Amino acid sequence: MIEKLSYHRTLSIISQYDTEGHSPLKVIADDFKTYVLKFPKNRYDANSILKEFLCHYLLTCWSIPTPPIAGLTIPHDLLINSPLISKRDRGLIGDNVCFGSQLIVEAIELNDFIEAKNKTSQKRILNSNDLFKIALFDLWIENEDRRPTNNNILLCPDKKGFIINAIDHAFTFSTLNFNELTYPTLNFSDNDSILFSTIGKSIIQSTKLNREFYIKSEEMFYLCIENVANSFSQIIDNLPVNLEFTDEDRTILADFLFNKERNKLVFQEFWYILNSISK
């Protein structure tokens, strides 16, 4: 079930993250929760913000943990008076709805947590096998921004350890506009798979890549796609209107995500990557 997107006004801007990508803002909204607010890098970049909303719902259908989100606006007075927001960025934000990802207190980045031989640390990750699902998801949506050296994965504290959460999906769908997507081809660099990370290799080495694993993984993949198909209309209806997702975009995206020939290639590529690492 897809939850209806909630909308909130920003009450205060705390800081700005210095990143190579969107340099989002850390803000407090009128629900008194702290969010990471992402806005377009330039006037041609609205699609990347739309993809953040879209991929949140796709991840939900795949049962991959990801932080709660909201559509955030910044009131005019706060926008023009904040020393953190440049005149250029004020024009990009304006009255538009921006992407807000709820800040998870005490979450840490995966790369900062685990080393190659740290088996004890790995055992504290309660859903480490979800890395297989994330790798397959990344192939399916042609994610260009989750790599072994930049995995865009948070470890969120749980009572008994940590839960993997997938974040940052602005540069998905090969960083193309939806009307530029091609299918049934697959555009993804094998070596960019998260499975080539330290923890990915470790999990693969401790997994039996046998016929049973293949069948269960394939069944999971197509069940996830079916879940998306069943919720697709709800997902699209949840996207903020100002991001201008057109009827043509909707048709092309559906053809891209549910193309049987392309999805067969996706799973074949996933299996190839697993076996190339396990050797």
Q: Identify the burial level of 117 via C-beta atoms within 10 angstroms of its C-beta, where 0-12 means exposed, 13-18 middle and 19 or more buried.
A: exposed
Average pLDDT by stretches of 10, the chain with 279 residues: 93 90 93 97 92 98 98 96 92 95 92 58 84 98 93 92 96 95 91 92 92 97 98 97 94 97 98 93
Residues 147, 269, single domain; the answer is yes
Residues 149 and 246 in one domain: yes
Dump pLDDT digits (tens) for 199-245: 899 899 989 999 999 999 999 999 999 999 999 999 999 999 999 89
DSSP state of 158: E
Q: Any idea what DSSP says for residue 239? A: S
Report the distance separating Cα 118 and Cα 79, nearest Å.
45
CA atoms of 26 and 167, how far apart (whole Å): 15
**Does residue 204 sit in helix, strand or coil?**
helix
Residues 92 and 174 in one domain: no
The contacts found for 83-92 with CB under 8 angstroms, 24 or more apart, are 84/13, 84/15, 84/16, 84/25, 85/13, 85/25, 89/39, 91/43, 92/39, 92/40, 92/41, 92/42, 92/43, 92/45
Domain termination residue (choose one: 102, 121, 145): 102
Non-local CB neighbours of 253 within 8 Å, separated by 6+ positions: 178, 181
Co-location of 19 and 153 in the same domain: no
* Residue 47 and residue 88 in one domain: yes
Q: In this structure, is residue 122 part of a structural domain? A: yes
Whether residue 6 contacts residue 71, with contact meaning beta carbons closer than 8 Å, is answered with: yes
Residues 97 and 221 in one domain: no
pLDDT of residue 91: 92
| CATH number (domain holding residue 205) | 1.10.1070
| Dihedral over Cα of 225, 193, 121, 109: its sign | negative
Does residue 2 belong to any structural domain of this protein? no
Considering the domain architecture, whether residues 151 and 98 belong to the same structural domain is answered as no
Residues 147 and 207 in one domain: yes
- What is the pTM assigned to this prediction? 0.95
Task: Assess whether 26 and 153 both reside in one domain.
Answer: no
pLDDT tens digits, 112-125 = 776 534 555 667 88
**What is the residue range of 201's domain?**
108-278
Domain total in the chain:
2
Same domain? 96 vs 114: no
Partners of 69 in the beta sheet?
101
Asked which of 102, 127, 156 is the last residue of a domain, the reply is 102
Same domain, 34 and 158: no
Note whether 218 and 153 are same-domain residues.
yes
**155-173 burial: b if 16+ Cβ within 10 Å, else e:** bbeeeeebbbbbbbbbbbb
